[in-house]
Chains A and B, each alone.
Chain A
Amino acid sequence: MPTLFDKLWQSHVVREARGEPTLLYIDLHLIHEVTSPQAFDGLRQAGRKVRRPDLTFGTVDHNVPTTDRSLPIADAIAANQIETLRRNCNEFGVQLYDINSPEQGIVHVIGPELGLTRPGMTIVCGDSHTSTHGAFGALAFGIGTSEVEHVLATQCLPQNKPLTMKVETHGALPEGVTAKDLALGIIGTIGTDGATGCVIEYAGEAVRSLSMEGRMTLCNMSIEAGARAGMIAPDETTFAYLKGRRFSPDSDEAIGYWRTLRSDDDAQFDRVVEIDAAQLEPFVTWGTSPGMVVPVTSCVPDPADEAAERALKYMALEPRTNIQAITIDRAFIGSCTNARIEDLRAAARVVKGYRINSSVSAMVVPGSQEVKRAAEREGLDRIFHEAGFEWREAGCSMCLGMNEDILQPGERCASTSNRNFEGRQGRGGRTHLVSPMMAAAAAIKGHFTDVRTWQFK
């Protein structure tokens, strides 16, 4: 009666001992410039090597500018951090998809793109949105820098086995309601600590109907519900996505194994949450946590507690304001949550034939250089340009504003990213999380609007 998670866990046990965390083997270790420097330093100080450089892949994403990359990076500290990753990867023999490499991009976008992410794997990275890779039926979770060092040195990680939560969706997502909205709907229901201590398995019709990119969006947001990881059992959609990708084995043997990666029919979960997908609407966050969210057709709620009052004050919103009356200053389409080709296509479909509102400044940051190239082949960049969006190079960009792409104090942004904490996108910046279509529509209108009634041109 094992769950998918049980199977993934059990197949990676190196050592189990009563009263101790289980030692798990890690199949794929992704690294980036922000959470690795101290880890490599630790290795050097202890005289250790990277045990499996062949299972370790790096990229630069958090700090990189999204503008002209032929210019030196203006921020000296950021430049140093990126140079440090370069030196470390070189010294320890790790493959790095550097700033000018055609494969560069946000770590959780390029992993799947390259076929590095596959069903049945354990995958870690020093970044909480590592849960993204669970979309492939992998056990994928974020770790801190000390654990990055641990994995570099031993290719293993001691872990206490989490509980399991099944999120069972019923019905189909209506038109205009996306994987992002499903994610926000779930978090709105169970709260930002609703899944703490658990790994989530997403199931049901709405989940099965999602494309791989939609599944990645959903799994990406698992951490925002406090989950350790999120996953979806692989199926034909998964295998079709992986076919032909650089690192993915195309063998019948591999696919045969992948087909076994699903929860048994009589599997028991520690918790089950039922979601009526057919009742979901496009969502907009109003506050300073992803759980402070309402449908676009609704209003800013009356504050239920001090935290909500604080959030309303920070966001400069009055209770009972119609969400569709909230005007925006910026629109950001990007991040590991929603910057893949389907996200860009969906946004482009909305903006085609329109121009952004004169009081809005908007940009699109593709999740990887590969996504950028694909979008340009399809002419999406032209559509965005004509609509008045800036078209940038790949990176995390304004999701967390470590580079120059930040909100000014007081600026309100419709963002396809994953966190709306105080100051997340820039000190004093006001973030509203939405789907790509909703961000695009808001950019055109100058305020939030229900994309289900959008007049496509």
Chain B
Amino acid sequence: MQPFTKHTGLVAPLDRANVDTDQIIPKQFLKRIERTGFGEFLFYDWRSDPDFVLNEPRYKGASILVAGKNFGCGSSREHAPWALGEFGFRAIVAPSFADIFANNCFKNGMLPIALTTEQVEEIMSRAQQHKGYELTVDLERQTIEDSRGLSILFVVSEFQRYCLLEGLDDIGLTLRHEDLIREYEASHR
């Protein structure tokens, strides 16, 4: 898995709450058997509207998405972070995330960052006001900063932070404890 340590990138503000995974990647694109090929279909229905924020030239190449609460709700499809990642996003900032989606992000080297509503609103507003607005996400120091004096400390679980920094393979980690798995199986026949 690609590690995440520090990333500076253009911010795209998606000022909507409860963005569900059907919007992120609609069902007709779930028929692929590969892990790739989803990026071009990100927000497929919303992007068909020329006025949709991600269609604006100023957000082309954005790698940090800022959105409203409960981002990624609905279906468990991991195709959602696959699509976001392939499209170019490396981190998502929102007041809250749906559980399964957030978990899926970590499995794909993508960082979901939960901040307060006020903090998200501030970032959203700065991204909308200032063309070319960028943020630097530092997972080591757990900070989000911009060039205009914003500096926020964010919370992330110690273990997930460690795995993301090291780009660790989850399955490999679990198999380190194979003896315990066998022990469990033996005592639960």
Contacts and interface: CB of A to CB of B under 8 A. Distances in A.
B31 A128 contact: no
B158 interface: yes
Given A146-B78, A192-B73, A419-B74, A84 B171 contact: no
A359 interface: no
A50 interface: no
A211 to B, nearest CB: 27
Interface stretch (A102-110, A151-159, A363-371): A151-159
Interface string A416-449: 0001011110010000000000000000000000
Interface string A191-214: 011001100000000000000000
Interface residues of A, number: 58
A24 B155 CA distance: 25
A143 B178 CA distance: 22
Contacts of A160: 157
B18 A156 contact: no
23 contacts: A15-B177, A25-B184, A35-B77, A37-B32, A78-B31, A126-B78, A144-B76, A145-B79, A147-B103, A153-B174, A154-B178, A154-B181, A156-B174, A160-B157, A192-B73, A196-B70, A226-B73, A226-B98, A307-B18, A310-B16, A400-B27, A422-B22, A424-B22
A153 B171 contact: yes
A275 interface: no
Interface centre among B31, B173, B175, B183 (most CB of A within 10 A): B31
B166 interface: no
Interface in A13-69: 14-15, 19-21, 23, 25, 34-35, 37-38, 41, 46, 48, 62-63
A35 B96 CA distance: 25
A15 B180 CA distance: 7
A207 to B, nearest CB: 23
A19 B188 contact: no
B90 interface: no
Given A15-B180, A423-B45, A424-B22, A25 B188 contact: yes
Interface string A269-293: 0000000000000000000010000
A19 B174 contact: no
Given A38-B33, A41-B33, 19 more contacts: A14-B181, A14-B183, A15-B180, A19-B159, A23-B181, A35-B78, A38-B34, A127-B76, A128-B76, A144-B100, A145-B35, A146-B107, A146-B170, A153-B175, A162-B99, A197-B99, A226-B70, A307-B17, A422-B23
Interface of B: 16-18, 20, 22-23, 26-28, 30-35, 45, 69-70, 73-79, 96, 98-100, 103-104, 107-108, 157-159, 170-171, 173-175, 177-178, 180-181, 183-185, 188
B175 to A, nearest CB: 6
Contacts of A216: none
Interface of A: 14-15, 19-21, 23, 25, 34-35, 37-38, 41, 46, 48, 62-63, 75, 77-78, 80-81, 84, 126-128, 142-147, 149-150, 153-156, 158, 160, 162, 192-193, 196-197, 226, 228, 289, 307, 310, 400-402, 419, 421-424, 427
